[in-house]
Amino acid sequence: MTGETRKLDRALVSMLQNVELHKRGWDEKLYRYLVIASYLLNGNKPMTSEQAYKVLLDRGIRVQKAIFFKVFEHMRKHGPLVKDAQAKAHLSQKELLRIKGEMEQYKETIRKAKKFFLSKLDVCDESAAEEVWRKFDEFLQQVALSRGVKFFEIVRRGSLESAPEIDIDAFSSTFAPNIRESVLSAATQFLEADDASVHRYLLSLLDAGLAINACGLSEEDIKTLTEKYAVKASIKLFLDTNIVFCLLGLHKHPWEEATKDILDFVRQQKGLEVKLYVINDTLEEAKLVVRSVSNRLKQVGRIFWPIDRFL
């Protein structure tokens, strides 16, 4: 069951827009932001995990309780939550300052998006224009939430199905006839705008809508999504000459055990792609050493394998 909130609080959006659902570990990151959001929504009052959970529940955000409590306790032990004498916790001042900076950036995005919309709206009365923007903002929140629901329905079924179009005609029809056309025009231009602030605003709503609807996913659903759709992380390991020799079994070296550990690490990885590289300088150095040893061994007639293939 996904989250059931019908309104995207600014604090929620500013937090949840940072959750990258396409990357591994998104579920833990999502729940960390949800814990933080619970404090922002409650004025950073000291709370237990149960109280923090209830803050979200009261907002219509249904999360997996066991996962939420687990992440809450980890944050209480390791930060950024600070414990008090009553076994409660609150956000540290350092974390609050960091979040404040993020929220200020998000508010600036909203301000610019709003300014763009109002510049396209032909309504003389300022208070009426403000009301149109408020309703349009709420309308887009509903769209983001409903698309989040649709996305996870599609994922669970495993079949692709196009989401319904954004019905701005229905939205504009809720206004008085004398401004209806202007509202429709402004909304259309807003959604089709080639403007960075508008794009950031819309994407933040969509990201938050997806994240909120991911809150209620079971651990089994999360595992399935991660395995099927997450971008596989990868690292590159550049090997030193001595490591190359150890891998080829050409000599004894203090790094031999470390080399075995590297190989074991590479073999054991399932969610991480490890690529081994050797730069040209390392390869040339290795060839030089092999040639030198080969020449000395030839003098005593002790070549056991075709060195030339390596060179």
Tell whether 280 and 247 lie within a shared domain. Answer: yes
Question: Under DSSP, is residue 23 helix (H, G, I), strand (E, B) or coil?
Answer: strand
| Helix residue ranges, H only, the chain | 10-16, 26-41, 49-58, 65-78, 93-120, 126-157, 168-172, 177-191, 196-214, 219-229, 241-248, 256-268, 280-299, 307-310
Looking at the fold, whether 49 and 145 belong to one and the same domain comes out as yes
For 239-249, the pLDDT digits (tens) are 888 888 787 77
Tell which of 227, 257, 282 closes a domain: 227
Lowest mean pLDDT among 9-13, 217-221, 229-233, 252-256: 229-233
Is residue 35 within 8 Å of residue 81, measured between CB atoms?
A: yes
Percent of the chain with pLDDT over 70: 71
274: in domain: yes
* Res 154: pLDDT: 45
What is the model's pTM? 0.60
In a domain, 275, yes or no: yes
Q: What residues make up the domain containing 276?
A: 233-310
Any domain includes 134: yes
Total domains in the chain come to 2
The two three-digit tokens of residue 53, written as one number:
């959970």
Choose the weakest-confidence range: 88-102, 237-251, 255-269: 255-269
- DSSP for 58-91 reads HTT----HHHHHHHHHHHHHHSSEEE-TTS-EEE
Statement to judge: residues 46 and 139 lie in one domain = yes
CA separation, residue 42 to residues 58, 67, 117, 123, 268 (Å): 11, 20, 31, 37, 44
Statement to judge: residues 168 and 247 lie in one domain: no
Tell me whether residue 289 is in a domain. yes
Q: Which residue has the higher pLDDT, 32 or 218?
A: 32
Same domain, 55 and 70: yes
Q: Is residue 24 part of a domain?
A: yes
Note the pLDDT of residue 7.
54
The verdict on 202 and 244 lying in the same domain is: no
- Is the pLDDT assigned to residue 21 strictly greater than 60? no
Same domain, yes or no, for 207 and 302? Answer: no
Residues 187, 250, single domain; the answer is no
Q: 223, 206, 207: which is closest to 67 by C-alpha?
A: 223
Residue 4's pLDDT band (cuts 50, 70, 90):
very low
**Count of residues in the chain:** 311
In a domain, 192, yes or no: yes
Looking at the domain assignment, is residue 83 inside a domain?
yes
Q: Residue 277 belongs to what H/E stretch?
A: strand 272-277
Instruction: Name the pLDDT band for 230 (thresholds 50, 70, 90).
Output: low
Domain boundary among 194, 227, 260: 227
Q: What is the mean pLDDT of residues 291-301?
A: 72
pLDDT at 17 over 90: no
What is the percent of the chain with per-residue pLDDT over 90, rounded to a whole number?
Answer: 28
Q: What is the pLDDT at residue 81?
A: 94
